[in-house]
């Protein structure tokens, strides 16, 4: 099973863990979050992330999901991507995360593709306006 690590600005990661527990009616195994606080040392974040990846990887790899490309949590991920067993996605959303968790018994590459599809399909315009026909 692919492990999942959320590396986000505080308190976003813990909020997603709470949301996932709500949706799946309980905690999810091999799923952790590191919430990066303002002015936190990037070396400390990298150390925490490497330790989490070691805990989460039972041989199938780890998907690291961060909130925004270019932010401190995302930048800290750069040092983690040197391994074949770690993949990184930026732009977390609940549809992305739920899809990743649902498919995590597949390969890491499949989990990444499913998570990205969940993100794309999960972003839709909700428009309740009544439209009057022109003819």
For residue 85, being part of any structural domain is answered with: yes
Q: Is the pLDDT of residue 80 over 90?
A: no
For residue 110, being part of any structural domain is answered with: no
CATH number at residue 88: 3.40.50.510
pLDDT of residue 5: 98
CA angle 92, 28, 66 (to 5 degrees): 20
Which residue in 22, 81, 73 sits closest to 48, CA to CA?
73
Q: How far apart are CA 52 and CA 80, in angstroms?
A: 11
**Domain membership of residue 38 as a residue range:** 3-93
pLDDT of residue 78: 80
Considering its fold, how many domains does the chain have in total? 1
For residue 76, being part of any structural domain is answered with: yes
For residue 10, being part of any structural domain is answered with: yes
For residue 115, being part of any structural domain is answered with: no
For residue 124, being part of any structural domain is answered with: no
Structure confidence by residue, pLDDT tens digits, 92-126: 999 999 999 999 999 999 999 999 999 999 999 88
pLDDT of residue 134: 58
Which residue in 88, 84, 118 sits closest to 8, CA to CA?
88
């Amino acid at each position: 099973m692919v492990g999942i690590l959320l590396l986000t600005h505080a308190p976003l990661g813990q909020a997603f863990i709470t949301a996932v527990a709500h949706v799946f009616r309980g905690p999810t195994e091999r799923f952790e979050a590191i919430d990066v606080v303002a002015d936190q040392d990037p070396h400390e974040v990298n150390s925490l992330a490497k330790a989490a990846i070691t805990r989460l990887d039972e041989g199938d790899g780890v998907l690291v999901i961060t909130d925004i490309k270019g932010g401190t949590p995302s930048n800290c991920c750069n040092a983690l991507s040197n391994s074949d067993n770690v993949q990184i996605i930026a732009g977390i959303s609940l549809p992305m995360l739920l899809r990743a968790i649902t498919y995590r018994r597949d390969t890491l590459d499949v989990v990444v593709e499913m998570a990205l599809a969940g993100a794309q399909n999960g972003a839709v315009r909700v428009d309740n306006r009544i439209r009057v026909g022109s003819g």
